[in-house]
A and B are shown apart, each in its own frame.
Chain A
């Protein structure tokens, strides 16, 4: 046992410190294993805010890098301990502290798995909409840290829209409580918002207060087969403008549907150029009304086919297949890098065409699906082999995708965060004044630079 491990053991107990190489290896990367460089020097598994505080004040005192971690399901490399040091695994802080029906709020520890929380509130007829597609494993503190979102973003927004308060351990070990159970607050700077999307660079989120909605009693799934990309985009805009906003609205090209069809039954139709997979929710009357509105719009705009999925079980299979798309393509390709550029939704056809052009000009396959309603697209750069030539092509394609997304008035990341993956593009989107301001905020929180170093911006300034 080295000094670091001995000290950590003294702080929080032997059973909560990992140091054997076989264990450390498991914490060397998140879902972006290609960013793995080195394992951490130690992993801690705290069960309380107090323990995290002790670890951070120790790390602060000794200038030791700290990388916070939830499920390690992130797609930006945010939980990768690029400088070694200590990984703080928050998964054992998994208590749902309170679900308050009277106030429609809940308080959870940072390590609560999102799906477990969904189950708990839904049993009480309540609803917490944020639905990153890793919800079966991802944790709520990390959802806040990455501002995670998912298909329901179109109607209900993302994690940031539900967080009303936080408990955070700052890099020096001090603990702050921001916001609270109330939904309104006008007291000083909104540090809750600042922490939301901070990617573990400002502190560790140990407790989260969220607001809740009532669970919509009915849902219905519909599939619209569109003649063209433009038609799909026009239908999306019209549906939203008419107020029949679906709870989920996924856009897919034929390739994505073909992939999905290899593991769903009955298969989806594949005779269009673009596809919309939608779920509408609400009371029975509302669902009926919205379904009629959507069908009328699709008919008027001459969609190729509108299919209502009658069987609830089949609908679940379709949605499950949609959420499993990313890991599934790994059965076919050796590496897949999923982007999350987001454009104003009217520009989706331009983006889709640009993606197809980029794929053709670079000579690499790019799969495509995305959350149509909010313009958040997931082009996935597919690599059939792992070698330098293909890696260079993938890099070139991603550069072009990001560039094009920005030209269309979009953003480089809708919901995954910057982490390592997008850091070189940060100054493509943000001007230097803003980046410098962010760095000054970072320095105010973390003057010794121990929290999740090597993330968001490239070390030593933008290139």
Chain B
């Protein structure tokens, strides 16, 4: 369980070296020591573990002003899981249960699928009451209305995989899901889309609502028949991180589903990472695109996920990959963070947009639907898309 008491020892692994300053998007905007991992950890230790300081308004602000992007952890030689400690702290200070519209969306909607109509209403309501100036538009047809069940491999079958459809793909970007199915089946993989999938839980753990997250983890684990598939595919790096690193931690140690959570962790792959590791049956003929790659922050769970799109697309005839000055710099979106801390997110994004402009690429690829949305909203002439969509375009199965 993501309980703070389990992290006391790990917090002390922080050597205070301060190297986390180099990659924390919030610190790089604020340049305040109190807004960087080493001091957040020390403060959590003092307030919630050693109890030398009270839970104050300022303490809550410092907890809230974290994107959970994991850049600090990836920079940290001691690999202190700062995101988990912040989540546990948020849970402990009682942010846990959400109210209002956000709570309604989070707790009711994300636990169920097939509610696109309702989601859409909630979305337009949110826009009306000004919850967010920039809010993603829901797709007219959700992915689960396009594909379901089992889709057979084209040509000779190499194996069978299950597809975990994240909320971003299902509700906002079903084109990603369509490309996932088409590219996988074209490469000889039978794709099973288990019924009854729900949100991976990352939006609710960000709010410290661990109980809701556990419900989602449990629901998801129940629908996968892991023995019958070679891999579980996701197109979203954040869903991937959840399943690889957090599902097991969200369950009690003696939960009967614990074993299954660990088995799932061993089988989860981001789609381009999977394709790269297994190799393409047939290299696409060409891709007439000049593109750049915004590497999502939640990449730490796979050492190869950031190179996969580069390797799969970069060498295609006609394709030109123009690397960003800092390929791994955060865009500021971070789930629903950009709605809650609008100014901060826009400021973080502004550096990213400048770098994208400087790359002179006409397309940006990224494996995170929230980055895709948030970068799109800030760009005027460039298109933002998922690398698997470019791959599908290169095969000619999807029109650009």
Q: Are A29 and B16 in contact (CB under 8 A)?
A: yes
Q: Does A176 contact B (CB under 8 A)?
A: no
The residue that B58 contacts in the complex, of A20, A31, A92, A113, with Cβ under 8 A, is A20
- Chain A residue numbers with a CB within 8 Å of B39 are 25-26
Across the interface, name the chain B residue whose C-beta is closest to A91.
B31
Indicate the member of B22, B36, B43, B59 with the most A CB atoms within 10 Å. Answer: B22
- Chain B residue numbers with a CB within 8 Å of A30 are 16, 18
Using A33-B16, A326-B15, A331-B79 as known contacts, say yes or no to A23 and B22 having CB atoms under 8 A apart. Answer: no
- Chain B residue numbers with a CB within 8 Å of A26 are 32-34, 36, 39, 42-43
- Chain B residue numbers with a CB within 8 Å of A439 are none
Indicate the member of B16, B33, B36 with the most A CB atoms within 10 Å. Answer: B33
Q: Are A31 and B43 in contact (CB under 8 A)?
A: no
Q: B48-76 interface mask toward A, CB cutoff 8 Å, 1 = contact, 0 = none?
A: 00000100101100100000000000001
Across the interface, name the chain B residue whose C-beta is closest to A111.
B31
Using A33-B16, A330-B15 as known contacts, say yes or no to A136 and B33 having CB atoms under 8 A apart. Answer: no
A264 to chain B, nearest CB (A): 12
Q: Does B7 contact A (CB under 8 A)?
A: no
Q: Are B78 and A328 in contact (CB under 8 A)?
A: yes
- Chain A residue numbers with a CB within 8 Å of B58 are 20-23
A234 and B169 alpha carbons, distance in the complex (Å)? 62
A31 and B15 alpha carbons, distance in the complex (Å)? 7
A294 and B199 alpha carbons, distance in the complex (Å)? 59
Q: Does A379 contact B (CB under 8 A)?
A: no
Q: A6-22 interface mask toward B, CB cutoff 8 Å, 1 = contact, 0 = none?
A: 00000000000010111
Q: Does A127 contact B (CB under 8 A)?
A: no
Q: B28-44 interface mask toward A, CB cutoff 8 Å, 1 = contact, 0 = none?
A: 00011110100100110
The residue that A327 contacts in the complex, of B15, B22, B33, with Cβ under 8 A, is B15
Q: A37-81 interface mask toward B, CB cutoff 8 Å, 1 = contact, 0 = none?
A: 000000001000000000000000000000000011100000000
- Chain B residue numbers with a CB within 8 Å of A94 are 31
Q: Are A18 and B16 in contact (CB under 8 A)?
A: no
Q: Are A71 and B43 in contact (CB under 8 A)?
A: no
- Chain A residue numbers with a CB within 8 Å of B33 are 23, 26-27, 72, 89
Q: Does B118 contact A (CB under 8 A)?
A: no
A330 and B20 alpha carbons, distance in the complex (Å)? 15
Q: Does B141 contact A (CB under 8 A)?
A: no
- Chain A residue numbers with a CB within 8 Å of B301 are none
Using A23-B58, A327-B76, A331-B78 as known contacts, say yes or no to A137 and B19 having CB atoms under 8 A apart. Answer: yes
Q: Are A137 and B22 in contact (CB under 8 A)?
A: yes
Q: Are B77 and A324 in contact (CB under 8 A)?
A: yes
A17 to chain B, nearest CB (A): 12
Q: Does B13 contact A (CB under 8 A)?
A: yes
Interface size on B, residues (CB 8 A): 28
Interface of A is mostly: loop
Q: Does A336 contact B (CB under 8 A)?
A: yes
Q: Are B53 and A22 in contact (CB under 8 A)?
A: yes
B222 to chain A, nearest CB (A): 36
Indicate the member of A27, A115, A136 with the most B CB atoms within 10 Å. Answer: A136
Q: Are A327 and B43 in contact (CB under 8 A)?
A: no
B331 to chain A, nearest CB (A): 20
- Chain A residue numbers with a CB within 8 Å of B62 are 22
Across the interface, name the chain A residue whose C-beta is closest to B17.
A327
Q: Does B12 contact A (CB under 8 A)?
A: yes
Q: Does A302 contact B (CB under 8 A)?
A: no
- Chain B residue numbers with a CB within 8 Å of A20 are 56, 58
The residue that A23 contacts in the complex, of B31, B34, B46, with Cβ under 8 A, is B34
B120 to chain A, nearest CB (A): 41
- Chain B residue numbers with a CB within 8 Å of A22 are 34, 43, 53, 56, 58-59, 62
B98 to chain A, nearest CB (A): 24
Q: Does A134 contact B (CB under 8 A)?
A: yes
Q: Are B59 and A136 in contact (CB under 8 A)?
A: no
- Chain A residue numbers with a CB within 8 Å of B16 are 29-33
Which residues of B come within 8 Å of A, CB atoms?
12-19, 21-22, 31-34, 36, 39, 42-43, 46, 53, 56, 58-59, 62, 76-79
10 chain-A/chain-B pairs, Cβ below 8 angstroms: A20-B56, A22-B56, A26-B39, A27-B33, A136-B22, A137-B18, A324-B77, A330-B15, A331-B79, A334-B12
Which 5 A/B pairs are nearest by Cβ-Cβ distance? A327-B77, A26-B39, A136-B22, A26-B33, A330-B15
